[in-house]
Amino acid sequence: MPDRAPQPVDRELPSEEARDLISLVRDIAQREIVPRAAEEEDAGRFPRETFRLLSASGLLGLPYDSAYGGGDQPYEVYLQVLEELAAARLTVGLGVSVHTLACHALAHYGTKEQQVEHLPTMLGGGLLGAYCLSEASSGSDAASLRTKAVRDGDHWAITGTKAWITHGGIADFYTVMARTGEEGPRGITAFLVPGDAAGLTGAAPEKKMGMKGSPTAQVHFDGVRVPDERRIGEEGQGFAIALSALDSGRLGIAACAIGLAQAALDEALAYATDRRQFGRPISDFEGLRFLLADMATQIEAGRALYLAAARLRDAGRPFAKQAAMAKLHCTDTAMKVTTDAVQVLGGYGYTADFPVERYMREAKALQIVEGTNQIQRMVIARHLAGPESR
């Protein structure tokens, strides 16, 4: 059975332009994304043409400077766009979030020359990005990464293997963190590597529990030569750049999680209204009404939390603690709400005839990516303990 159209959420948006943007996204979601979601996820097919359409519609560079092809949108608008996309299909919402994460380093730390040369195609030229921090032996402890970049005249040679890379093997550009100096966080440098660089190869995608349409793969770098003009920021600044990207990226994951949870609630509500037992719609029973009320309340709370963090970011204020809180709360909410949605559908919820079983499998990934929820608690606790412990 195809996914149902998500119910429109009544959004608080700051401008007419933002309202038009949300309408455009809903239209694309209903026409292009929702009808193919279940079948393509089942087949493990990445919707490359959807990303070309999103790029052509100006939706792959929303929070960046329009001087370089971005959309000049505040984060509170960009995140609500992501939420709408993720409600239609998580692979698409998460893919846009990862692409935006991959653009962060150059957009915030690149030189003017680098930005003029590369950003327009990255933000609106149909290209797809990937962000390469994790390795097989360094996940939560990302600063212990081993992929090396060695200087060779005015070039660098990158050697090593990145793991768990969303869009690995299909991306047009990779933002890569590699070791150029001492052990630990201060010996890491960021590079912008083209997807067709000689010596760069993607492994076969991991066989995941969910989001099968979103390829997650190892990426091998076998002496990949990158000119020094593609180094982003200073030597040794790469880890700070990677973390700064993740602060914003976690808000993207939070918004995707709320979109997924909203889609699960919409499905559960529609089913509970249709399904009759004991001569009445099951939505008449208090046991289910309270479950649905809790699901809706957690979603509203999550949306309010990520939007509050986004508004701090838009105002130029510190937001890292709130971003970690939003990632933690919203992804735990997605896990809980999608699990409860399966419960509302009873036995049918446990089959692939309805999308809620897929939503539940997909939600699990969100508690792991861009820092597990244990790591989010560590980030929050460090902020609570004061600046000297960060």
Residues at the site binding ligand FAD, with contacts judged by CB under 6 A: 98, 131-134, 139-140, 164-166, 216, 365, 368-372, 374-375
Q: Can you tell me whether residue 362 is helix, strand or coil?
A: helix
Rounded distance, CA 147 to CA 158, Å? 7
- Min dist. Cβ of residue 107 to ligand FAD (A): 17
| Residue at 16: amino acid letter | E
Element (H, E) at 119: helix 112-124
Phi, psi of 356 (to 5 degrees): -65, -30
Give the residue at shortest CB distance from ligand FAD.
139
Shorter beta-carbon distance to ligand FAD: residue 163 or 226: 163
- Min dist. Cβ of residue 9 to ligand FAD (A): 25
Shorter beta-carbon distance to ligand FAD: residue 336 or 361: 361
Max Cα distance, the chain (Å) = 79
Rounded distance, CA 374 to CA 233, Å? 30
Shorter beta-carbon distance to ligand FAD: residue 82 or 165: 165
Shorter beta-carbon distance to ligand FAD: residue 80 or 216: 216
- Min dist. Cβ of residue 229 to ligand FAD (A): 24
162-187 exposure pattern, b = at least 16 Cβ within 10 A, e = fewer: bbbbbbbbbbbbbbbbbbbeeeebeb
- Min dist. Cβ of residue 62 to ligand FAD (A): 19
Distances (CA, A) of 251 to 76, 90, 164, 195, 328: 10, 15, 20, 26, 10
Residue among 26, 2, 46, 63 at smallest CA distance from 259: 26
The first and second tokens of residue 106, run together, are: 């150059």
- Min dist. Cβ of residue 343 to ligand FAD (A): 25
For the annotated catalytic residues, the residue numbers are 370
Four-residue CA torsion sign, 288, 291, 295, 296: positive
Rounded distance, CA 60 to CA 367, Å? 24
Rounded distance, CA 346 to CA 93, Å? 28
Residue among 255, 258, 266, 257 at smallest CA distance from 77: 255
- Min dist. Cβ of residue 213 to ligand FAD (A): 12
* Beta carbons of 157 and 179 less than 8 angstroms apart: no
